[in-house]
Structure 1
């Protein structure tokens, strides 16, 4: 079953896209959006996780600022998205993710996180601040937080040709989080998992990263 649900948070109710497996679950995964909201692509990621056996929940993080935001990948969409990210801020975003994780934990589910772009950094903070095992896809804003202690296992996916995450930044992830799994995909740029956007999608890198992600989640949420 795939549907919108309501999530109570310290900043008021927000929506979340919840996808459930057909059979018994392997655990639960927070799907943390790119800057474009819980749009069709993010919902499809949650649906794929449900197909793989997980309960997936994608909280609509912009709801406290503007309800129901779903943006495209145009220049105008990017500008609006960046303004929403600034207006929300990291502290409120983490409050929303904590409330979402607690909702799943109250159901007796072990919870992990998978995030993309801005959400990749938020997924990293789920490991350091909420002690959730986390998979971080091309989180370009994580460097200022890399001295935080991770209370749960971490996996990072980066494109070698991502201009927003240069090689020196990737190396800082390795140095400051040496226990984490760090994967770099050659001839691959930013947002390589975004299969609805042919400008950035890299099928080979996306499939390899997805297989690694599912293996990680199955191990950590077992």
Structure 2
């Protein structure tokens, strides 16, 4: 299915920033706010946006590093890795959440009364979790969301369906952390957690050495089923 993609402006009280918008061929559908890794709205994130747009979703990926530089795109090794970590550490988390809220307002103009979900990867996975806790979306997907285990005091605030994906071989998110997350949501039937054997951090990204085709395919299938049920 063909998609139509472009960069659009998101207005905020501090100025404006860009977001990558990808529309399905029909131009309409449920909404997805796609939350980036620490490497910016790079080619991989834009590919993911187009992939979900091809599945019939209206997808928007906000440039959450805009205060530090417009449309920063980084690779996954060496100096790019170091810069990505520095960008994440310098990001004001509260402002990033407000940027997501402002992005969702723009997404709403494209989807009308249709439901909206967030989907995020790594840094964006943690943001997706908080987006759900903030009540900004109707459902949320979080891929290897580092730091979720340190924010479980927000677990009671999760009132919408949430799907989380983790890799069993993730060196950044130990299985003990995943276990603590699962225990925090043990009584919440709306929260679904999948752990993929042999999968490392970033297993969904086919631009990275840690890409795991089987885990990526299974997680995407689980995500599509989840989104079709919730949106």
Q: Secondary structure at the match of 1:100?
A: helix
Aligned to 2:125: 120
Aligned to 1:194: 205
Cα distance in 2 for residues equivalent to 1:11 and 1:80: 24
Cα distance in 1 for residues equivalent to 2:130 and 2:227: 17
Cα distance in 2 for residues equivalent to 1:10 and 1:123: 22
Aligned to 1:31: 34
Aligned to 1:167: 175
| Structure 2 CA distance for partners of 1:20 and 1:106, relative to 1, 3 Å | closer
Q: Deviations over 1:76-135 (max 9, x none)?
A: 111111111122221111011011112222441421110000000000011101342110
Aligned to 1:134: 140
Aligned to 2:67: 64
Q: Which runs of 5+ in 2 are unaligned?
A: none
Return the TM-score normalized by structure 2.
0.91
Q: Aligned residues, how many?
A: 220
Q: Secondary structure at the match of 1:173?
A: helix
Pairing 1:76–2:79 present:
yes
Q: Deviations over 1:144-164 (max 9, x none)?
A: 211212121100000000011
Give, in angstroms, the shift of residue 216 of structure 1. Answer: 1.1
Cα distance in 1 for residues equivalent to 2:72 and 2:13: 20
Question: In the alignment, is the contact (CA less than 8 A) between 2:101 and 2:136 conserved in 1?
Answer: no
Q: Secondary structure at the match of 1:164?
A: coil
Q: Deviations over 1:23-81 (max 9, x none)?
A: 26330101100000000000000000000000000000001221110011112111111
Return the TM-score normalized by structure 1.
0.95
Pairing 1:97–2:100 present:
yes
Cα distance in 2 for residues equivalent to 1:124 and 1:92: 16
